[in-house]
Each structure stands twice: as C-alpha cells, then as structure tokens.
Amino acid sequence: MLRINISTQPIRLNYNINNAQMNLHTTLPKVQLETTAATVDISQPQGRLTIDQYPCRYSIGIKNNTDFARDIAAKGKQTVMSTIGRIVQEGNQLARIQSKSNAIADIAANSTVSVVPDITYAYIASPDISYQASPVQFNTTEGKVDLNLNHGTVKQDYRRGNVDIQVTQYPSIEISTVDVKV
C-alpha cells in the first residue's frame, strides 16, 4: 500500500515596524484685559431759601419808608376828615340857639373825655418763604476695556511610520510516497 506524506513549511516573515510620530509644541494664547471702570459723579448745588419777613413786620407796624409814608398819608387823610366832621358837628351845635343848653360847656366837656383804646387781637401775617431747588448735575465717564490678544501657536513635527518586511523562511510543500506493507 502506498502512503502519501505531505509536509508543509509555512512562510515566516520578520516585521520591523516604526510607528508614525507626531510631536506637537504649543504656545498657549494669552488674553490681557485692562478695564477702566465707568464713573458717575453726582452733585447737587445747594438750593436757594428765601425768607421775606416783611409781611410779618408790616402787620406789627415795622414798615419800609414807602409803605410808612403811604400809611401815614392815609391816616392823615382820615384824621382830617374826622376833624372836619367834628368841627361841623360843633358848629351845628353852636348854631342851635333854640336849645336851652350851654353849647360851649358841652363841647368843652366832650373834648376832655378821652376814649379808652380797645385791645385788638390782630392777625400777624406769615413771612413769605420760598425755596428754589438746584437741579442735580451728573458727570459721567465711560468705562473702557483694552484687549490685547496674543494668539497661541502650534508647531508640529511629523515623522512617517514605515513597515519593513523580510522573509526569513519561504513556504514549501514536500510530498512523498512511502510503500507500507501490511
């Protein structure tokens, strides 16, 4: 009987692999911000307060020259009119001869009687008070932002990878026959 022997030898390869390399060198970006704050200056000048005491003083008799002269002239006119009225009344009293009274004695008696002045509660005027407010003044200064930007950089160094293949054993097939006796 014949027997077939088959023996094989596989291929053997030797691989030499160099990996690809990429080296990156980076410079970080820098952002520099300088800010100036916005400001608001608020000021309000003092208001103007005016107090006029003249109406109050006028009502208690303290007057300026113009008003004093006008009031004295009015009082003088009133006194002249009342004196004229009194003189006319006395003249009429003297002219009444038919009455049996002593007109001169009556006139003299009436002139010596003084009228007791009455106490009068009078209103005292309030002073004129006024206030003029000054407007608020705003002075604004705008804020600023100064931006300095330094861009970052990327430097790359790339080396390609390679594969070196060497055959260290070639494949082979060996076929033989053997005569075997049974």
- Sorting pLDDT into bands at 50, 70 and 90, what band is 152? confident
Domain ranges of the chain: 1-47+141-181, 48-112+121-132
How distant, in Å, are the alpha carbons of 10, 30, 89, 135 from that of 163?
Answer: 21, 42, 154, 87
Q: What is the pLDDT of residue 76?
A: 95
- Segment 77-97 shows an average pLDDT of 88
- Segment 105-115 shows an average pLDDT of 79
Q: What is the pLDDT of residue 50?
A: 93
Classify each residue of 1-18 as buried b or exposed e, where b means 16 or more C-beta atoms within 10 Å of its C-beta: eeeeeeeeeeeeeeeeee
Residue 73 has pLDDT above 90, yes or no: yes
- Segment 20-44 shows an average pLDDT of 90
The rounded percent of the chain whose pLDDT value lies above 90 is 30
- Of 174, 173, 175, 172, nearest to 4 by C-alpha is 175
Q: What is the pLDDT of residue 39?
A: 93
- Sorting pLDDT into bands at 50, 70 and 90, what band is 181? confident
Q: What is the pLDDT of residue 100?
A: 77
**138 close to 44: Cβ distance less than 8 angstroms:** no
Residue 79 has pLDDT above 90, yes or no: yes
In terms of C-beta density within 10 A (0-12 exposed, 13-18 middle, 19 or more buried), how is residue 90 classed?
middle
Phi, psi torsion values for 94, nearest 5 degrees: -70, -30
Give the single-character DSSP code of 70: H
Q: Are strands 144-150 and 12-18 parallel, antiparallel or unpaired?
A: unpaired
